[in-house]
């Protein structure tokens, strides 16, 4: 359902949040939340609306990050140009691999995307001349025309603006004929094809778009942190991303943002538990899927609607 107020509410949150952030560390967490949210908004289009699965999206994230990192650090490209080139390359890769694998369904698609993600992760670790191997590589900061983007506050506003742009883009797509086509093919691919929707083209389109969102977030993360390691392309990261989307609520763009927010900040609280962190994270994943299979935001919406 189109809710114009939603984007305005999110904009309000982004603008007012700094009032609640006491120090640089909390800004850093907020920036990470924003970056993860950008990936999740794109991934949600793929998983929630188009009904596909990707267990390898961290691969696109990593490729975007390393692409921009390598071009700027090793070849001296200007950062914005490197970012654009990296995005384009990942989009092209997604287009090329998406065509054959999106014919698959369910578990087979999950496995194909998983395999893809792992292959990317292995390549990034092994080609250490270019990527610095498992220890990673340092990344020059983002900037243009002599001005560098540095400092938590500047990054916060940049990421916040980009997140709003991403959400706006996603919502526009969802409320367009293309979006309705996606939802139709989620409901039943056969039925959608019967009424003339080219499901392969639509699936590919949203796959490429979500890959580019991930790549953009990856490149930004690399430039923000000044460093990138292959763990960002690892299977575990792909799982975290999917969990954020599913936890927040599939087929809900704001759910994706909420999911990213909760599951990015959760480990910050869990570090208190130190050795129990993994166990608790795993338990949280299981419990939320068992008791809130539709995700947090739709479940809350349903609860609120039931009370009226």
Q: How open is the CA angle 34-39-45, to the nearest 5 degrees? A: 125
If the CB atoms of residues 136 and 259 are measured against other proteins, the closer one turns out to be 259
Does the footprint of other proteins cover residue 269 (CB under 8 A)? no
Looking at 21-29, 195-203, 234-242, 296-304, which segment touches other proteins (CB under 8 A)?
234-242
Instruction: Decide if residue 272 touches other proteins (CB under 8 A).
Output: no
Minimum CB separation of residue 134 from other proteins in Å reads 12
Q: Look up residue 43 and give its two tokens.
A: 């991934």
Core vs surface per residue 142-177: b (16+ CB within 10 A) or e = beeeeeebeebeebbebbbebbbebbebbbebbeee
* Interface residue with other proteins, options 246, 256, 257, 260 (CB under 8 A): 246
Q: Is 302 exposed, middle or buried (0-12, 13-18, 19+ CB in 10 A)?
A: exposed
Does the footprint of other proteins cover residue 243 (CB under 8 A)? yes
Q: Which of 290, 303, 304, 305 binds other proteins (CB under 8 A)?
A: 290
Q: Contact between 187 and other proteins (CB under 8 A)?
A: no
Q: According to the binding rule CB under 8 A, does residue 283 interact with other proteins?
A: yes
Q: Which long-range contacts (CB under 8 A, 24 or more apart) does 163-169 make?
A: 163/10, 163/14, 163/34, 163/37, 163/38, 163/41, 163/257, 164/7, 164/10, 164/11, 164/14, 166/37, 166/38, 166/41, 166/42, 166/213, 167/7, 167/10, 167/41, 167/253, 167/254, 167/257, 168/7
Structure tokens at 161: 């603006």
Least CB distance from residue 232 to other proteins, whole Å?
A: 17
Q: How far is the CB of 63 from other proteins (least distance, A)?
A: 15
C-beta separation of 265 from 27 below 8 A: no
**In whole angstroms, how close is the CB of 116 to other proteins at the nearest point?**
7
- Which string of x and - marks every residue 49-88 that binds other proteins (by CB under 8 A)? ----x-x---------------------------------
User: Is position 115 an interface residue for other proteins (rule: CB under 8 A)?
Assistant: yes
Bridge-partner residues for 144, per DSSP?
A: 147
Question: Residue count at the site for other proteins (CB under 8 A)?
Answer: 42
Residues in the chain: 308
Can you tell me which of 14, 50, 73, 101 binds other proteins, judged by CB under 8 A?
101
Chain residues in the site for other proteins (CB under 8 A): 47, 53, 55, 100-101, 104, 106-108, 110-112, 114-116, 118-119, 122-123, 126, 190, 235, 239, 242-243, 246, 250, 275-286, 289-290, 293
């Amino acid at each position: 359902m189109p809710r114009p107020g939603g984007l305005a509410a999110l904009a309000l949150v982004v603008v007012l949040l700094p009032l609640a952030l006491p120090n640089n560390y909390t800004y850093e967490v907020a920036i990470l939340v924003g970056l993860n949210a950008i990936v999740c908004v794109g991934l949600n289009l793929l998983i929630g609306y188009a009904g596909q699965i990707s267990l390898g999206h961290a691969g696109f994230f990593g490729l975007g990050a390393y692409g921009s990192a390598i071009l700027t650090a090793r070849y001296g490209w200007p950062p914005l140009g490197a970012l654009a080139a990296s995005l384009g390359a990942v989009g092209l890769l997604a287009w090329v691999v998406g065509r054959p694998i999106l014919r698959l369904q369910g578990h087979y698609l999950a496995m194909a995307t998983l395999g893809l993600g792992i292959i990317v992760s292995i390549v990034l670790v092994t080609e250490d001349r270019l990527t610095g191997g498992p220890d990673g590589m340092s990344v020059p900061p983002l900037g243009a025309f002599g001005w560098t983007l540095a400092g938590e506050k500047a990054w916060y506003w940049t990421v916040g603006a980009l997140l709003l742009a991403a959400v706006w883009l996603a919502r526009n797509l969802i409320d367009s004929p293309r979006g309705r086509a996606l939802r139709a093919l989620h409901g039943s691919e056969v039925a959608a094809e019967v009424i003339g929707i080219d499901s392969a083209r639509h699936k590919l389109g949203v796959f490429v778009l979500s890959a580019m969102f991930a790549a953009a977030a990856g490149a930004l993360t690399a430039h923000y942190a000044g460093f990138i390691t292959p763990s960002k392309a690892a299977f575990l990261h792909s799982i975290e991303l999917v969990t954020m989307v599913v936890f927040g609520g599939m087929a809900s763009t704001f759910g994706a943002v909420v999911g990213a927010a909760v599951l990015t900040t959760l480990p910050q609280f869990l570090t208190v538990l130190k050795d129990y962190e993994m166990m608790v994270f795993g338990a949280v994943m299981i419990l939320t899927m068992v008791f809130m299979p539709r995700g947090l935001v739709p479940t809350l919406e349903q609860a609120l609607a039931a009370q009226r």
